[in-house]
Structure 1
Amino acid sequence: MTTSTHILASLLPLVDDLSRDLPEAERYRRLLETLRALIPCDASALLRLEGDELVPLAVDGLSLDTLGRRFRVADHPRFAALLADDEPTLFPSDSPLPDPYDGLVTAEPHLDVHDCMGCPLSVGGQAWGLVTLDALDAGRFGTDDLAALRAFASMAAATVAAGERMRGLERDAEREHSRAEGFRLAAGQAPVRRLTGLSPAFRRLVDDIGTVAHSDLTVLIRGETGTGKELVAQAIHAASARADRPLIAVNCAALPELLLESELFGHVRGAFSGATADRRGKFELADHGTLFLDEVADLSLGAQAALLRVMQSGQLQRVGSDREHRVDVRIIAASNRDLADEVRAGRCRADFYHRISVYPLTVPPLRERGNDVVLLAGGFLEENRARLGVSGLRLSPEAQALLPGWSWPGNVRELEHTIGRAALKALARSGRGKALVIESGDLDLSAGPMATTTDTATMPRETNPLPLRAALDLYERQRIEQALSRSGGNWAAAARELGMDRANLRRSAARLGIA
């Protein structure tokens, strides 16, 4: 078969996919599958350009935590070089430029990438992102591969353009989010993190957000401490019709009772000692926008009554004033306590509870989100890499395997702090001269509660503990067998549940003796 015939045959599946209504993740997975069939390599990735960052949308042969990372182009000269050239680029095997995927290739995580090539993708004449290929062997790629990648790039651009059209409402929500983000930055607030996850529990949360965001219903976000309730509130606001207006947050637990009405409703000059000027409260600042009441269960019964009046009538009076102000504010509240229990205990008014919980929404704890913990860890790894000023930061395979088995009583916040501490330990051990690897001991997960769900996919807890490698193998075997059981023996479905490439799953199963 000639080279041109081989290229044409390899690209035909993508032509067929253009007319199919596929989920975005599946469309991009097929894109990389076609690329690796066309140009054999150890790893490939599709990344979308968002501002000054590249966001991985699909990876093949790279560690799962790669999907949770956001690569700032200025920090990665290879990405910058690929974006600067309209044509495919093949880097010399001895290029001094650091490779962002060093240590992330699942085939041999202890080896650095030696051959790297990539190509920018454009949609509608605008830079959209990159497709990259990597190999662990020097000299794997050649000029014929550049020609093949050039042919692939035009079809890949058509594929991502189709994916962009299918996103529809999601793209609109992203634009609204960007407008709200700009407003917050103009107000001097730090940019917010995005919600990240692929698990069924996370997808249900995202569906709930999409359902309620476009309404003006009052939302009560329930969830344990550290699950990211404020991020959920920000996502609801960003996808709403109020996104170009402010989102004002109030921590009810931090407000002294005497100052609460002044903080929420404002005051006039002379209303009390120290009131030297008129001051608008949070409700007026949030007019035509959203007011986020965090830890709402900590409001006193008196504060609840005052708040209830404003929620019912839309009218408020500043402390010390007889004049009424009308406001149009959407309320989003959050609590880590069950407000129904608080009503039964007499600490919450029943009428306030029913007014505040028109649309209750629950944020799942991290222990119920499966491999989302690895994606979230990827984001925190990239943040710490930039903060520490190192060329790379990754988890060793043993360290990564520990994450899904931990119970994470502090949820995402605990994970963030765990990764931050581990990164400092890795830096102290290795110094700044090279990419850092976080080992299992750096995570300090040797003491404390492990996952205690009814699922048997937990780390072994035996009277005579197994050696670490054997314990990890046993844990991996349990996870794979359970995924295969739930999928009825469907390897592709099991791979999707585990966040793995199907070929890698097959190899792991063979190594572990799973038929």
Structure 2
Amino acid sequence: MLAISDITNLALDLTSGLSNQDRFDRLLTTVRTLLKCDASALLLYQDQRFVPLAINGLAGEVLGRRFALADHPRLEAIARAGDVVRFPADSSLPDPYDGLIPSLHGELKVHACIGLPLLVEQRLIGAVTIDGFDALQFNQFSDDELRIVTALAAASLNNALQLQALERAGRIAVSNSPTKSANESNEMIGRCEAMVALKRDLTVVATSELSVLVLGETGVGKELVAQQVHQLSNRAGQPLVYLNCAALPDSVAESELFGHVKGAFTGAISHRQGKFELADEGTLFLDEIGELSLELQAKLLRVLQYGDVQRVGEDKAVNVDVRIVAATNRDLKQEVAAGRFRADLYHRLSVFPVLVPPLRERHDDVVLLAGYFLERCSAKLGLEQLRLSAGALTQLQQYQWPGNVRELEHCINRAAVLARAESNKLDVLIESHHLALTVHEVDSGVDNRVIAVPVSTNEGLKDATERYQRQLIEQALQHNNHNWAAVARQLQLDSGNLHRLAKRLGLK
């Protein structure tokens, strides 16, 4: 039975002047003390899925997972119940936390599990889950006592969401739906100090009309930043148009940007709008802006200065209202100094620069991101559970990730497929050998990035050099969407020499 003093302490904890995250963490600590549970989680309900806000007694990767109700029947039961849910110890419903309680050695099959749906005015905003190793662990607590904990937790979570909505909106009035859902595909996962600062900067600049320049290495998630800026802006209801400048052949680049009229050039069989017109009243994301030719930079500058575009082959100009978010993995200041990028365009674009940190500087976020990708893989492969062994998790944390978040995602996807192929169960464990991350890091000399070269003691210098060249070109091709001209510029090679080298290496 819960004592009145325990309930009072819980209420005081939730109303103290703490940050949201501190309040959530203290909530679970108090719940764990009150109910003597072995593991607990506070979950936010968003777009038919539960998003962990805080955990206690669970593996760190749980914070990165996103539990779709369609894939987790136990969580779906909690979401639909509207009241305290006590699962039988022998429930056939798979537990989303199986294998994710570090303090438990061996498989957890029979245990106590309770779900507390958090409701505000009959609207589901989240849930608290509590687990215990003993099947009879929570029998001493009545449903009425658990409802008190539920009501306090719901009030705390709702207050936090209301405050968050106020901060983002920058106004006093709050929407009836403060839990604005985030699309899973453009969610920025990360809790390290650098990512918290980045998210804070994006929240500040999003509601303005300032141009944003996103800086960072290949694979860090610059496109996600652009999506976040657009989603939080006043233009969120209008189109976000994407253009990869590195994949633009010079012959069609102007048409892609500004459009063309029928007959403007060979192959122009009809009128066509450019990206600027398509993004009118919305946002235009110019990825790899540093790859544009100087001629196109001058034309782009004119559009940014005067707000009108002129289709290829047409004299009349069309006025557009477009917000620009640009991104690059190059040091544009050095590009300006070298005469490869216009200084006036650089200053026009970099009104509000933001730097996306590389994954090697986000050590704690590797675990969260791994959990996020594991949950997505599990759903795609139709598995009940997809987990990392302790050795595999250590290897992920020690690796330097030269390809950043994109490399981590590909690594998890590949390892999941390999692990599933070796298992005949729906509960799959990824081991270290599935990751295949035993590598040395070699400076690539391009954009301060590194290439991962597998260790081999059975080849000579010539073979190792060719393998390194092949891998470097393949990475550049992938990065530039197989645009050979852009690859030549990135690798600082003559185009003809690049083609000859590629043929010799068997890449063409």
Same fold, TM-score > 0.5, yes or no: yes
Cα deviation, residue 115, structure 1:
2.0
Equivalent residue, structure 1, for 2:299: 306
Contact 2:241 2:284 in 1 (8 A): yes
2:134 equivalent to 1:141:
no
Contact 1:64 1:375 in 2 (8 A): yes
Question: Could you tell me which of 108, 126, 146 is aligned with 1:112?
Answer: 108
Cα deviation, residue 20, structure 1:
2.8
Equivalent residue, structure 2, for 1:337: 330
2:441 equivalent to 1:449:
yes
**Alpha-carbon distance in structure 1 between the residues aligned to 2:139 and 2:290:** 64
**Alpha-carbon distance in structure 2 between the residues aligned to 1:239 and 1:205:** 14
**Alpha-carbon distance in structure 2 between the residues aligned to 1:391 and 1:331:** 43
Report the TM-score, using the length of structure 1 for normalisation. Answer: 0.81
Q: AA paired with 1:439?
A: E
Q: 1:426 to 1:137 in 2, by over 3 A?
A: farther
2:430 equivalent to 1:438:
yes
Contact 2:14 2:27 in 1 (8 A): no
Equivalent residue, structure 2, for 1:375: 368
Secondary structure of the equivalent of 1:119? strand
Q: AA paired with 1:64?
A: G
Runs (5+) with no aligned partner, structure 2: 444-508
Cα deviation, residue 225, structure 1:
0.4
Question: Could you tell me which of 346, 356, 373 is aligned with 1:363?
Answer: 356
**Alpha-carbon distance in structure 2 between the residues aligned to 1:199 and 1:450:** 27
Secondary structure of the equivalent of 1:340? helix
Contact 1:296 1:335 in 2 (8 A): yes
**Alpha-carbon distance in structure 2 between the residues aligned to 1:108 and 1:339:** 51
2:314 equivalent to 1:321:
yes
Cα deviation, residue 407, structure 1:
0.8
Equivalent residue, structure 1, for 2:33: 37
**Alpha-carbon distance in structure 2 between the residues aligned to 1:135 and 1:222:** 46
Contact 1:426 1:436 in 2 (8 A): yes
2:397 equivalent to 1:404:
yes
Contact 2:230 2:283 in 1 (8 A): yes
**Alpha-carbon distance in structure 2 between the residues aligned to 1:140 and 1:327:** 64
Equivalent residue, structure 1, for 2:84: 88
**Alpha-carbon distance in structure 1 between the residues aligned to 2:24 and 2:158:** 11
Over the residues paired in the alignment, what is the CA RMSD in angstroms? 2.2
Question: Could you tell me which of 155, 158, 164 is aligned with 1:158?
Answer: 155
**Alpha-carbon distance in structure 2 between the residues aligned to 1:413 and 1:110:** 33
Cα deviation, residue 161, structure 1:
2.3
**Alpha-carbon distance in structure 1 between the residues aligned to 2:239 and 2:178:** 12
2:274 equivalent to 1:281:
yes
Cα deviation, residue 393, structure 1:
0.7
Matches within 5 A, 1:2-81: 3=1, 6-81=2-77
Equivalent residue, structure 2, for 1:213: 206
Secondary structure of the equivalent of 1:448? strand
Contact 1:21 1:166 in 2 (8 A): no
Contact 2:65 2:371 in 1 (8 A): yes
Secondary structure of the equivalent of 2:17? coil
Secondary structure of the equivalent of 1:144? coil
Equivalent residue, structure 2, for 1:223: 216
Contact 2:43 2:128 in 1 (8 A): yes
Q: AA paired with 1:116?
A: C
Question: Could you tell me which of 231, 254, 257 is aligned with 1:264?
Answer: 257
Contact 2:82 2:119 in 1 (8 A): no
Q: 1:179 to 1:43 in 2, by over 3 A?
A: closer
Q: Percent identity?
A: 50
**Alpha-carbon distance in structure 2 between the residues aligned to 1:47 and 1:176:** 15
Q: 1:83 to 1:444 in 2, by over 3 A?
A: same
**Alpha-carbon distance in structure 1 between the residues aligned to 2:308 and 2:265:** 22
Q: 1:123 to 1:217 in 2, by over 3 A?
A: same
2:242 equivalent to 1:249:
yes
Report the TM-score, using the length of structure 2 for normalisation. Answer: 0.82
Q: 1:176 to 1:316 in 2, by over 3 A?
A: farther
Q: AA paired with 1:438?
A: I
**Alpha-carbon distance in structure 2 between the residues aligned to 1:418 and 1:130:** 32
Contact 2:99 2:387 in 1 (8 A): yes
Cα deviation, residue 178, structure 1:
5.9
**Alpha-carbon distance in structure 2 between the residues aligned to 1:14 and 1:141:** 18
